[in-house]
Amino acid sequence: MNNRDCYTNRELSWMQFNERVLNEAGNPRVPLAERLTFASIYQSNLDEFFMVRVGTLMMQMRANEEVRENKTNMTSEEQVMAILKRTRELEKKKAKIYEQLMGELEPQGVRIINFNKLSSEEGALLEQYFDNHIAPFLSPMIIGKQQPFPFLNNRQLYAVVLLETKNGKRKIGIVPCTNSVFKRLIEIPSRPGTFMLCEELILHFVSKLFVKYKICEKSIMRITRNADIDASDVYDEDLDYRGMMEHLIKQRTRLSPVRLELSREIDEKVKKDIADFLGICQEHILKVDTPLDLSFVFQLQDFLRSKTELFYEKRSPRWTPALRAKESILDQVAKKDVLLSYPFESIKPFLRMLHEAAEDDSVVSIKMTLYRVADKSKVIDALIEAAENGKEVVVLIELRARFDEANNIEMSRRLEDAGCRIIYGLGEYKVHSKLCLITRNTEEGLSYITQIGTGNYNEKTSRLYTDLSLLTGNQEIGAEAAKVFQALMLGETAEETDHLLVAPKCLQNKVLALMDEEIAKAKNGQEGYIGVKINSLTDKVIIEKLIEASKAGVKVELIVRGICCLVPGIEGKTDHITVVSVVGRFLEHSRIYRFGTGDQDKIYIASADFMTRNTVRRVEVAVPIYDEAIKQRLRHIFDTIMADDEKGKIQTSERLYVDRDLGEEKLNSQEFFYEEAYRAEAERETF
């Protein structure tokens, strides 16, 4: 039976997710200042989506590749056109929400204004400010034979003007508006809390930059460029791998445009000329009714800091009750497994464990995979300390972590200078696993302490993303982790595993086998259950297995924050499948796999989403949970998120995400978990 009606296009599903982010910007139940953050996140998400996904699709179009999406059979061109259509619709929605936000900010003493709302005295002061503090740092240019169309930097702001000479000839003028010398927000001297955007000030006085011309039309513009370069595309045998990645970063800044945004409508011929120069169709030129760069909202938040009611209640990660702070973390983990749940619990126990390992005479080696780390990383500091103390430190640092390449290159240099052995990923596969192995030489012999997580070793994001981290002294898991590292050091991947699920060769197939066990139970009249919490679901092989499970009567509960290519609730096919998405204060990032019910269930936490790139094209690791108390805790976490009807939306068979009411009081799972963490800390202090 054809299951095509059970699928949603990947790109359009992602846009639904970003709309859920935008909806939080317009949600009156979210504190006002925090709604500004969601508006900015919506825009930065969309920027990256165009840079990566639309960029890839447009490269396929330019190469005349007949590539069809494998679920809905849409061509690259059909997907791009659908994306542009949906973007225009969402821009209208964003404009309404932005206008609403600005209106609600005014009673709080903050406003963004234009020249129409200024007195003549205020206008004169701003003109003086422009003349003295902005104009000297601008570089206006007129497009002509002697001055060709300039290179436009990715996501930077420019004023574009249609100029007319005295004899009626028309030309295009361009003024870069992004500059580190002057401020983006310019405060009106006579009205504290009232600001004008610098690009609007430049646009208003742009005639002073082109004094010999009449200004016919003007607008702010912003270009988005493709950022999707594969390292294999820039291979240079004269460069080492790190040098090649640095070359890649430089190349990215000059890739083809995929979108041009305009703040005002301008002459069609001017638009055509710009489109021709940029090499894009006019369909890729979008009129935007909000500021083209919303990052200034964080400065507005700073102005509002004293009004605590406009922000979320202050929360900070708590120390886990599973560990005693004054005793060795290594020794405690050797005796019992510990689960850390970020951001509700702190990453500090893991960081302390790393520092202990760096100083402990019994520790002989630390091996670790790094994908994204903080700018001033305490993890890096601990690894350097360990190497300087004579430990063997092996770090696989993935230089291809998109948009974090430069930071990873710098960190790799620091580690290498300290004497760490560095591996730059595998040629064919990105290494996305979150795996740390500490090897000790004890009186009883070789001993392992292993950490396996769902999120990066990044202190900053551990306060912003929900993630899970298992610390275990289980020697069988440690031995398998050692085999994973042994393979990586040889440039290979794990071929077989008994405990861990390790992509690319031992994850998808084992997940399918676990699902088959639940299908067999259902066919034998027993209760079959599959529960999965992930960021994205696109792997067609796994989706087909979930459809098969539903048809067999297996209860399937999916918590999918972002892309979900599976449509639930279709009679006879997916009617036993429930899909929930949670978009809240913290980014849902943890991955949990559940198979079966009761005491015999199998539970894993993992670094892998159910996307083909994760399941068969990357090195990923999922770890089984053997400690019964931790299993019960993960069931509790999963079930609580499934019941979230404050931030959780349920997907319908019509591919819509809608609200639901499950109880008298709305449940916000993230706030609930923080309350639990604070309560657990208070109870521990009582005793």
In whole angstroms, give the CA distance from residue 162 to residue 219. 9
- Cβ–Cβ under 8 Å, residues 463 and 342: yes
Question: In terms of Cα–Cα distance, which of 104, 117, 85 is closest to 27?
Answer: 104
E strands, 99-203, are 111-112, 141-142, 157-164, 170-176, 185-187, 194-197
SS3 content of the chain, % helix, strand, coil (to 5): 40, 20, 35
- Cβ–Cβ under 8 Å, residues 396 and 331: no
CA triple 649-49-61, angle to 5 deg: 125
Q: Sort 363 into a burial class: Cβ within 10 Å, 0-12 / 13-18 / 19+.
A: buried
The DSSP secondary structure of 553-583, one letter per residue, reads T-EEEEEESS-B-BPP--TTTTTTEEEEEE-
200: left (phi over 0), alpha (psi -120 to 50) or beta: alpha
The DSSP secondary structure of 417-444, one letter per residue, reads HTT-EEE---SSSEE---EEEEEEEETT
Q: Sort 686 into a burial class: Cβ within 10 Å, 0-12 / 13-18 / 19+.
A: exposed
CA triple 188-191-192, angle to 5 deg: 90
For CA atoms 295, 298, 304, 308, the dihedral sign is: positive
> What is the CA 613 to chain-centroid distance, rounded?
16
In whole angstroms, give the CA distance from residue 319 to residue 107. 40
Question: In terms of Cα–Cα distance, which of 36, 99, 668 is closest to 305?
Answer: 36
Q: Sort 573 into a burial class: Cβ within 10 Å, 0-12 / 13-18 / 19+.
A: buried
* Residue with token string 């091996």: 367
Task: Exactly one of 204, 432, 576, 589 is catalytic; name it.
Answer: 432
Question: In terms of Cα–Cα distance, which of 420, 412, 334 is closest to 370?
Answer: 412
- Per-residue b or e along 60-71, where b marks 16 or more CB atoms closer than 10 Å to that residue's CB: beeeeeebebeb
In whole angstroms, give the CA distance from residue 185 to residue 198. 6
- Cβ–Cβ under 8 Å, residues 33 and 301: yes
Q: Look up 589 and say whether it is catalytic.
A: no
Token couple for 300: 């507005």
E strands, 54-197, are 111-112, 141-142, 157-164, 170-176, 185-187, 194-197
Q: How far is CA 555 from CA 5, 522, 546, 575, 595, in A?
A: 20, 9, 10, 9, 10
Residues near 449 by beta carbon (within 8 Å), at least 6 away in sequence: 330, 333, 334, 353, 357, 437, 438, 440, 471, 472, 473, 478
For residue 162, the SS3 value is strand
- Cβ–Cβ under 8 Å, residues 163 and 172: yes
- Strand-pairing partners, residue 157, are 222
- Cβ–Cβ under 8 Å, residues 499 and 624: yes
Q: Which residues does the annotation mark as catalytic?
A: 432
